[in-house]
Amino acid sequence: MKHSNNGDAGIWKSASGKGRKGPKGRQLDEAAYNQVVALLGDTPKRRDLLIEYLHRIQDAFNGLQKKHLKALGEWLNLPESEVAGVASFYSHFDLLDDDQHLPEITLRVCNSLSCCLAGSDWLAGELQQTCDSNTVRVLRAPCMGRCNLAPTVSVGRTHIDNATPDNVIQAITGKQFEPRLPDYECLDQYLLDGGYQVFKSLQQGDVSAQSLEQQVLDSGLRGMGGAGFPSGRKWSAVRSEPGPRYMAVNADEGEPGTFKDRYYLESRPHLVLEGMLLAALAVEAEKIYIYVRDEYPVALKILQIELQSLHEQGLIPCDWVELRRGAGAYICGEESAMIESIEGKRGLPRHRPPYVAQQGLFGQPTLVHNVETLYWTARICREGASVLADVEHNGRKGLRTYSVSGRVNNPGIYMLPSGSTITDIIAAAGGMLSGHTFTAYQPGGPASGILPASQNNVPLDFDTLQPLGSLIGSAAVVILSDKDSVKAAAINMLEFFHHESCGQCTPCRVGCGKAVSLMKMEHWDKALLEELGSVMTDASICGLGQAAPNPFRTVIRYFPDEVSKDAD
């Protein structure tokens, strides 16, 4: 069957009577259409799967040529402009002309703060000089969630940790492009340890959703994605809304310095999955979507394997849970932007929370939880509220996972009391590197700004850092020393926000870029930066623009001498 709409070869007449050759717009390429059908013919024609289809085409052809975008739109009955608009939003999609081809191999060198401290700028320069540009392209890319192993380079769908020019070239030569799975707790091991017993009890009615919800409330668990909303209260809010209801798992952990969610998915995935299933059953969710950032190919593969195992064991129906692969957009870690992306759209934040009717997935109430939140949900339901409620330190209750990187001897994941100070965290991470003196730290990702070493006795927890002009966020701790420029670190943070702004609102879209240019000046115009920060905080739609001023605000407040220096 022909799908080309080239029409007759004669003159097409417009309303004015003037002629032109052929119809307007890009014409369908039959060969490209057949290629798309061959790739996608085994999948349903669903608008919400648009990003998944784009991934298939990109993976198959090493880019998205215009003819394939046109063909995909024809297959889905969508305008080419809509397909291209979605594809252009995500940094991992490469939009190409029909005669354009990319080098076979793409290297993404992380440019987050931790990797820059570890020499990623130098590494990127060396790889640019060493690699053949005809076969290898070298890109700078945002955080890949491997800050404890900095610097990191992605080669295809795998990562080279503690990267050097030599081991990156070795990976290219050896064609090491696919993810390598670590040892992790598989389903059989988890079942031997009593896994899914609470889930089965909930299914059978031996325990009630309300009793589990009360345990979560009694534990004091708050969302571990950064917002800190009481987790149990979300359950009752969603359950009170008319169905159908959905659940979305936010595994789009893009905050630079954060890697705790990746750690749990790649080591104990079933604690996360059981927490997810308990929460979904408690709100009677008809469908569950797990949104995994594209920078986590290992976690995605593990989830594919273990969800299949759950189905084969008869624990879940095969169609209850869907995995969705992100495409390189930090903003999709914001829960409403993630919902937009799951629906196959550009990840633009909404104005209201997703559990409100008509604001969730497909216009229905939706429960959204972060990966670490679900890890604790499973533990609380299995071990009781005391697993968090009975832990107390420095006047704070509970435990939390700190991602620690930078100038410490042993960067990594540390589960510590919620009242831990930066002094406690540095001690847990083996102390400062030899020859480095502690001077400053990022307590919770770039949005938390930079605090001085003198602020070393404040508990790093919810609601404790606000008086300092900071926040705990995702507990992404990066340690700086006397060898580092605080000003350069703050610029790195604002450049990240500028790169990742979705562009929907002017205060964030324009403000982040303006802030970067002002911060790169020898002497900071503090009054102008403060005015800019106020506008961004008051008028931005989502947390990205609202918190983006924190890096320069904290530098002005705590490091006044730095604002008169050139950035390193």
Q: Report yes or no on 392 lying in a domain.
A: no
Q: Facing residues of 198 across strands? A: none
Answer yes or no: do 429 and 505 share one domain: no
**Alpha carbon 82 to chain centroid distance?**
23
CATH of the domain at 88: 1.10.10.1590
**Residue among 250, 230, 414, 435 at smallest CA distance from 330:** 250
DSSP string, 546-568: HHTTHHHHHHHHH-GGGGGS---
What range does the domain containing 235 cover?
187-383
pLDDT of residue 300: 98
Q: What is the pTM assigned to this prediction?
A: 0.93
Which residues contact residue 495 at a Cβ distance below 8 angstroms, ignoring those fewer than 6 apart? 516
pLDDT of residue 215: 95
DSSP string, 1-40: --------SSEEE-TTS-EEES-SSPPP-HHHHHHHHHHH
CATH of the domain at 414: 3.10.20.600
Is the bond preceding residue 151 a cis peptide, omega within 30 degrees?
yes
Answer yes or no: do 514 and 440 share one domain: no
Is the bond preceding residue 244 a cis peptide, omega within 30 degrees?
yes
Domain C-terminal end among 46, 72, 96: 96
pLDDT of residue 219: 93
Answer yes or no: do 464 and 551 share one domain: no
Answer yes or no: do 109 and 219 share one domain: no
Q: What is the pLDDT along the chain (568 residues), one digit of tens a residue?
A: 445 444 444 445 555 556 666 677 789 999 999 999 999 988 999 999 999 999 999 999 999 999 999 999 999 999 999 999 999 999 999 999 999 999 999 999 999 999 999 999 999 999 999 999 999 999 999 999 999 999 999 999 999 999 999 999 999 999 999 999 999 999 999 999 999 999 999 999 999 999 999 999 999 998 887 677 788 888 999 999 998 999 999 999 999 999 999 999 999 999 999 999 999 999 999 999 999 999 999 999 999 999 999 999 999 998 999 999 999 999 999 999 999 999 999 999 987 667 666 688 999 999 999 999 999 999 999 999 999 998 999 888 899 999 999 999 999 999 999 999 999 999 999 999 999 999 999 999 999 999 999 999 999 999 999 999 999 989 999 999 999 999 999 999 999 999 999 999 999 999 999 999 999 998 999 999 999 999 999 999 988 999 999 999 999 999 998 887 665 5
CATH of the domain at 154: 3.40.30.10
Answer yes or no: do 88 and 155 share one domain: no
Q: Report yes or no on 180 lying in a domain.
A: no
Q: Report yes or no on 13 lying in a domain.
A: no
Answer yes or no: do 403 and 549 share one domain: no
Q: Facing residues of 476 across strands? A: 403
Q: Report yes or no on 524 lying in a domain.
A: yes
Domain count, the chain: 5
Answer yes or no: do 85 and 118 share one domain: no
Answer yes or no: do 59 and 125 share one domain: no
Contact 375, 398 (CB under 8 A): no
Q: Report yes or no on 182 lying in a domain.
A: no
Q: Report yes or no on 285 lying in a domain.
A: yes
Answer yes or no: do 221 and 163 share one domain: no
Domain C-terminal end among 359, 383, 407: 383
Answer yes or no: do 379 and 233 share one domain: yes
